[in-house]
Structure 1
Protein backbone atom coordinates (compact mmCIF):
# COMPACT_ATOMS: atom_id res chain seq x y z
CA UNK A 1 0.00 0.00 0.00
CA UNK A 2 1.87 3.15 1.21
CA UNK A 3 5.48 2.98 2.15
CA UNK A 4 6.52 4.56 5.46
CA UNK A 5 8.81 7.04 3.70
CA UNK A 6 5.89 8.38 1.64
CA UNK A 7 3.77 8.79 4.77
CA UNK A 8 6.60 10.54 6.62
CA UNK A 9 7.27 12.83 3.67
CA UNK A 10 3.58 13.74 3.35
CA UNK A 11 3.25 14.40 7.09
CA UNK A 12 6.39 16.55 7.03
CA UNK A 13 5.09 18.53 4.09
CA UNK A 14 1.74 19.09 5.79
CA UNK A 15 3.52 20.18 8.99
CA UNK A 16 5.70 22.58 7.03
CA UNK A 17 2.66 24.11 5.35
CA UNK A 18 0.93 24.58 8.72
CA UNK A 19 3.99 26.23 10.28
CA UNK A 20 4.45 28.49 7.24
CA UNK A 21 0.80 29.53 7.36
CA UNK A 22 1.02 30.32 11.08
CA UNK A 23 4.17 32.39 10.57
CA UNK A 24 2.59 34.25 7.67
CA UNK A 25 -0.47 35.04 9.76
CA UNK A 26 1.74 36.30 12.58
CA UNK A 27 3.73 38.45 10.14
CA UNK A 28 0.58 40.07 8.79
CA UNK A 29 -0.70 40.75 12.30
CA UNK A 30 2.65 42.27 13.30
CA UNK A 31 2.65 44.52 10.23
CA UNK A 32 -0.89 45.64 11.06
CA UNK A 33 0.17 46.41 14.65
CA UNK A 34 3.08 48.53 13.43
CA UNK A 35 0.76 50.34 11.00
CA UNK A 36 -1.61 51.18 13.87
CA UNK A 37 1.32 52.41 16.01
CA UNK A 38 2.50 54.68 13.19
CA UNK A 39 -0.99 56.10 12.70
CA UNK A 40 -1.21 56.77 16.43
CA UNK A 41 2.15 58.61 16.40
CA UNK A 42 1.11 60.78 13.46
CA UNK A 43 -1.95 62.05 15.31
CA UNK A 44 -1.30 65.40 17.01
CA UNK A 45 -0.82 65.13 20.74
CA UNK A 46 -2.14 68.16 22.60
CA UNK A 47 -1.20 67.30 26.19
CA UNK A 48 2.44 66.37 25.68
CA UNK A 49 5.25 68.77 25.00
CA UNK A 50 7.66 68.75 22.13
CA UNK A 51 9.69 65.59 21.80
CA UNK A 52 12.57 67.63 20.45
CA UNK A 53 12.64 69.81 23.57
CA UNK A 54 12.63 66.78 25.84
CA UNK A 55 15.47 65.25 23.83
CA UNK A 56 17.52 68.44 24.16
CA UNK A 57 17.01 68.52 27.92
CA UNK A 58 18.00 64.87 28.21
CA UNK A 59 21.06 65.45 26.03
CA UNK A 60 22.13 68.39 28.18
CA UNK A 61 21.69 66.25 31.30
CA UNK A 62 23.82 63.50 29.80
CA UNK A 63 26.56 65.99 28.87
CA UNK A 64 26.58 67.30 32.44
CA UNK A 65 26.89 63.78 33.82
CA UNK A 66 29.78 63.04 31.46
CA UNK A 67 31.60 66.18 32.62
CA UNK A 68 31.14 65.14 36.25
CA UNK A 69 32.40 61.61 35.55
CA UNK A 70 35.42 62.96 33.68
CA UNK A 71 36.17 65.27 36.59
CA UNK A 72 35.93 62.36 39.04
CA UNK A 73 38.18 60.25 36.81
CA UNK A 74 40.83 62.98 36.66
CA UNK A 75 40.66 63.62 40.42
CA UNK A 76 39.18 67.11 40.29
CA UNK A 77 36.55 68.05 42.87
CA UNK A 78 33.55 70.02 41.62
Structure 2
Protein backbone atom coordinates (compact mmCIF):
# COMPACT_ATOMS: atom_id res chain seq x y z
CA UNK A 1 0.00 0.00 0.00
CA UNK A 2 1.07 3.60 -0.55
CA UNK A 3 2.54 5.63 2.21
CA UNK A 4 0.20 8.48 3.31
CA UNK A 5 3.04 11.01 3.08
CA UNK A 6 3.54 10.08 -0.59
CA UNK A 7 -0.18 10.58 -1.31
CA UNK A 8 -0.18 13.96 0.44
CA UNK A 9 2.96 15.04 -1.44
CA UNK A 10 1.52 13.97 -4.79
CA UNK A 11 -1.77 15.75 -4.07
CA UNK A 12 0.08 18.94 -3.11
CA UNK A 13 2.19 18.75 -6.26
CA UNK A 14 -0.92 18.38 -8.44
CA UNK A 15 -2.63 21.25 -6.60
CA UNK A 16 0.36 23.55 -6.98
CA UNK A 17 0.58 22.66 -10.68
CA UNK A 18 -3.09 23.52 -11.23
CA UNK A 19 -2.74 26.84 -9.41
CA UNK A 20 0.46 27.71 -11.31
CA UNK A 21 -1.19 26.88 -14.65
CA UNK A 22 -4.24 29.00 -13.79
CA UNK A 23 -2.10 31.95 -12.75
CA UNK A 24 -0.03 31.65 -15.93
CA UNK A 25 -3.16 31.74 -18.10
CA UNK A 26 -4.49 34.74 -16.17
CA UNK A 27 -1.16 36.56 -16.57
CA UNK A 28 -1.13 35.90 -20.32
CA UNK A 29 -4.70 37.17 -20.61
CA UNK A 30 -3.83 40.33 -18.70
CA UNK A 31 -0.79 40.95 -20.93
CA UNK A 32 -2.94 40.48 -24.04
CA UNK A 33 -5.46 42.98 -22.68
CA UNK A 34 -2.72 45.55 -22.11
CA UNK A 35 -1.33 44.96 -25.62
CA UNK A 36 -4.76 45.60 -27.10
CA UNK A 37 -5.15 48.76 -25.02
CA UNK A 38 -1.80 50.06 -26.27
CA UNK A 39 -2.55 49.24 -29.92
CA UNK A 40 -6.11 50.58 -29.91
CA UNK A 41 -6.29 54.26 -30.89
CA UNK A 42 -8.46 56.21 -28.47
CA UNK A 43 -10.24 59.31 -29.63
CA UNK A 44 -11.13 60.57 -26.17
CA UNK A 45 -7.49 61.13 -25.21
CA UNK A 46 -6.46 63.01 -28.38
CA UNK A 47 -9.69 64.63 -29.47
CA UNK A 48 -9.45 62.82 -32.80
CA UNK A 49 -11.84 60.00 -33.60
CA UNK A 50 -9.99 57.04 -35.12
CA UNK A 51 -12.82 56.43 -37.59
CA UNK A 52 -12.44 59.96 -38.99
CA UNK A 53 -8.77 59.60 -39.88
CA UNK A 54 -8.36 59.15 -43.61
CA UNK A 55 -6.75 55.94 -44.78
CA UNK A 56 -6.60 54.43 -41.29
CA UNK A 57 -3.62 56.57 -40.27
CA UNK A 58 -2.30 56.38 -36.76
CA UNK A 59 -2.99 59.05 -34.15
CA UNK A 60 0.44 60.65 -34.70
CA UNK A 61 -0.15 60.88 -38.43
CA UNK A 62 -3.60 62.34 -37.77
CA UNK A 63 -2.06 65.09 -35.62
CA UNK A 64 0.36 65.96 -38.39
CA UNK A 65 -2.48 65.97 -40.90
CA UNK A 66 -4.56 68.26 -38.67
CA UNK A 67 -1.62 70.66 -38.24
CA UNK A 68 -1.13 70.72 -42.02
CA UNK A 69 -4.81 71.46 -42.59
CA UNK A 70 -4.74 74.30 -40.03
CA UNK A 71 -1.72 75.81 -41.77
CA UNK A 72 -3.48 75.62 -45.14
CA UNK A 73 -6.55 77.31 -43.67
CA UNK A 74 -4.41 80.15 -42.31
CA UNK A 75 -2.81 80.63 -45.73
CA UNK A 76 -6.18 80.65 -47.47
CA UNK A 77 -7.55 83.17 -44.95
CA UNK A 78 -4.50 85.36 -45.52
CA UNK A 79 -4.99 85.19 -49.29
CA UNK A 80 -8.69 86.00 -48.91
CA UNK A 81 -7.93 89.06 -46.78
CA UNK A 82 -5.19 90.24 -49.16
CA UNK A 83 -2.25 89.81 -46.79
CA UNK A 84 1.07 88.63 -48.27
CA UNK A 85 2.81 85.83 -46.39
TM-score, with normalisation over the residues of structure 2? 0.50
**Structure 1 consecutive aligned stretches of length 4 or more whose deviation exceeds 2 Å:** 43-46
In structure 2, how many angstroms separate the alpha carbons of the residues matched to 1:25 and 1:39?
A: 21
In structure 2, how many angstroms separate the alpha carbons of the residues matched to 1:4 and 1:10?
A: 10
In structure 2, how many angstroms separate the alpha carbons of the residues matched to 1:39 and 1:49?
A: 17
Where in structure 2 are the equivalents of 1:53-64 lying within 5 Å?
Answer: none
In structure 2, how many angstroms separate the alpha carbons of the residues matched to 1:6 and 1:19?
A: 20
Partner residue of 1:22?
22
Partner residue of 2:43?
45
Provide, for residues 31-71 of structure 1, a one-character-per-residue CA deviation record: whole Å limited to 9, x for no partner: 0000000001xx3738x538xxxxxxxxxxxxxxxxxxxxx
Cα RMSD of the aligned pairs, angstroms, is 2.4
Structure with more relative contact order (C-alpha pairs < 8 Å, separation 6 or more): 2
Any gaps of 5 or more consecutive residues in structure 2?
49-85
Any gaps of 5 or more consecutive residues in structure 1?
51-78
